[in-house]
């Protein structure tokens, strides 16, 4: 038996030949290459910066007798956000008919709460930083992802495994690789004439994010992750995830659409419109929080070299591709789950956001000592403006 490897673009062609039985050729995407021929950070074992930083961060937690996971404030926020999502829905279903403007405000509030749950609760739980109890993290992760229309198992692969490892790398980080290339979010993707207007229409597409999760994306994504090899060693796990996915989707639409249509004193069209409005608000908020962290005028979009290496350390790569914003805005930080401190989150994804403000001081001291970049915008508005400028730039060439 022979195994012949040939690289063609961003695909690895593996030809397995058994001269006594058969021949087979398989093309695998880079998503699977991380399992077969995993891209490496060339100086990962020589990263003095990250070694020194981790030592100081660990000392901070030890000296202050703190856990790296969430605290009472995070748990209280979870109750607040779930309440402001569930209570308006219950009111729409159970209470007498209310004026149209108040009806719409309820769906807007639900959208704001939904994105807050995604940013502050789901994100923490799936990273394992919500609680020191692993089972509680898993439970909260699945429940919170359910309430924003997504699927935790897919998010764990897309976000934890791929985005956090290969940030801003073409074909590996799905956050910069939208379906059908409708938006160009990296210098490494081909330019299309329609991209000239992306700084105008991108914001509408951001608003479709969670609606796509709730309807089509999770199904296609689960199939793609299977194709890319993430379930190759456990077929039963793949079958289990399909059962969970189908159950969660059915229950989601029962709770958010079918029950209101059956019992609320409003027309089906009004309720479907409110449902879409809720998702648009939620998706738009998520888009303008996530994208200004990585698609900015200071962001870099590294390529793999011919040896499948990333010419940086992992920590250096995170600094190269990530930006903070509005670090002094306490209310924004509360609502977005500390994701205005994206640098700290990417360097320490398993530490709760409740610690990021203090950790940022340690990180800034360390990057200064090692002469490394630390990208940050002073306000949320300036970060969004910077992202818009990058959309214009990427749309021109």
Maximum Cα interatomic distance, the chain, rounded to a whole number of Å: 76
| Domain identity same for 377 and 307 | yes
Is there a contact between 317 and 287 (Cβ–Cβ < 8 Å)? no
Residue 130 token pair: 């919500």
pLDDT in tens, 62-77: 999 999 999 999 999 9
User: Are residue 239 and residue 108 in the same domain, yes or no?
Assistant: yes
Digit-coded pLDDT (tens) for 122-167: 999 999 999 999 999 999 999 999 999 999 999 999 999 999 999 9
Convert the pLDDT of each residue in 380-391 to its tens digit.
999 999 999 999
pTM over 0.85: yes
Q: Which residue has the higher pLDDT, 45 or 40?
A: 40
Tell me, yes or no, whether 2 and 133 share the same domain: no
What average pLDDT does this structure show over 17-38? 37
Q: Is the pLDDT of residue 19 over 70?
A: no
**pLDDT (0 to 100) of residue 397:** 76
Give me the domain span that covers residue 67.
41-397
Can you tell me the distance from the alpha carbon of 273 to that of 260, in angstroms, rounded to the nearest whole number?
Answer: 12
Q: Which residue has the higher pLDDT, 263 or 4?
A: 263
What tokens were used for 80? 């607040």
Q: Which residues contact 273 (CB under 8 A, 6 or more apart)?
A: none
| Residues 302 and 345 occupy one common structural domain | yes
Residues 250 and 144 placed together within one structural domain of the fold: yes
Residues 143, 237 within the same domain: yes
Q: Give the total number of structural domains in the chain.
A: 2
Residues in the chain: 397
Q: HSE on the CB side for 395, CA within 13 Å? A: 17
* φ, ψ at 309 (rounded to 5°): -105, 155
Residue 167, phi then psi, degrees to nearest 5: -55, 130
Same domain, 383 and 355: yes
- 238 and 250 in a single domain? The answer is yes
Q: In this structure, are 2 and 145 located in the same domain? A: no
What is the percent of the chain where pLDDT is above 70? 89
pLDDT for 44 equals: 53
pLDDT in tens, 234-256: 888 999 999 999 999 999 999 99
Same domain, 71 and 20: no
Spatial distance between the Cα atoms of 293 and 295, rounded to a whole number of angstroms: 6
The owner of tokens 């956090």 is: 164
60 and 3 share one domain: no
Average pLDDT of the chain to the nearest whole number: 90
Same domain (yes/no): 121, 167:
yes
């Amino acid at each position: 038996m022979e195994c012949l490897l040939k690289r063609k673009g961003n695909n690895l062609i593996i030809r397995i030949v058994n001269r006594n039985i058969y021949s087979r050729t398989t093309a695998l995407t880079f998503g699977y290459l991380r399992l077969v021929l995993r891209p490496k950070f060339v100086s990962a074992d020589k990263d003095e910066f990250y070694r020194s930083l981790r030592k100081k961060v660990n000392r901070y937690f030890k000296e202050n007798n703190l856990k790296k996971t969430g605290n009472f404030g995070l748990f209280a926020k979870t109750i607040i956000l779930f309440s402001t999502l569930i209570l308006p829905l219950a009111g729409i279903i159970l209470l007498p008919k209310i004026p149209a403007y108040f009806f719409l405000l309820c769906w807007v509030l639900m959208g704001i709460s939904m994105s807050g749950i995604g940013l502050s609760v789901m994100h923490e739980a799936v990273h394992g930083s919500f609680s020191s109890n692993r089972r509680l993290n898993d439970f909260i992760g699945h429940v919170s992802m359910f309430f924003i229309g997504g699927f935790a198992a897919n998010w764990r692969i897309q976000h934890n495994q791929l985005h956090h490892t290969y940030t801003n790398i073409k074909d590996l980080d799905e956050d910069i690789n939208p379906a059908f290339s409708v938006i160009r979010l990296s210098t490494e993707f081909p330019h299309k004439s329609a991209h000239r207007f992306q700084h105008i229409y991108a914001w509408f597409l951001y608003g479709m994010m969670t609606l796509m999760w709730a309807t089509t994306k999770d199904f296609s994504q689960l199939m793609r992750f299977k194709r890319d090899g993430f379930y190759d060693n456990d077929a039963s796990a793949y079958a289990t995830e399909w059962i969970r996915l189908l159950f969660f989707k059915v229950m989601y639409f029962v709770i958010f659409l079918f029950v209101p249509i059956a019992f609320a004193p409003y027309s089906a069209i009004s309720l479907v419109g409110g449902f879409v409005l809720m998702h648009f608000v939620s998706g738009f908020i998520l888009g303008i929080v996530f994208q200004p962290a990585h698609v900015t005028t200071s962001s870099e979009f590294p390529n793999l070299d011919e040896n499948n290496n990333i010419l940086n350390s992992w920590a250096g790569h995170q600094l190269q591709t990530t930006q903070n914003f509005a670090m002094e805005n306490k209310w924004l930080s509360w609502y977005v789950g500390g994701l205005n401190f994206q640098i700290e989150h990417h360097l320490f994804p398993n530490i709760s956001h409740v610690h990021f403000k203090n950790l940022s001081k340690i990180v800034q001291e360390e990057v200064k000592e090692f002469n490394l970049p630390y990208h940050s915008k002073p306000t949320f508005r300036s970060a969004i403006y910077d992202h818009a400028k990058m959309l214009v730039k990427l749309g021109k060439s």
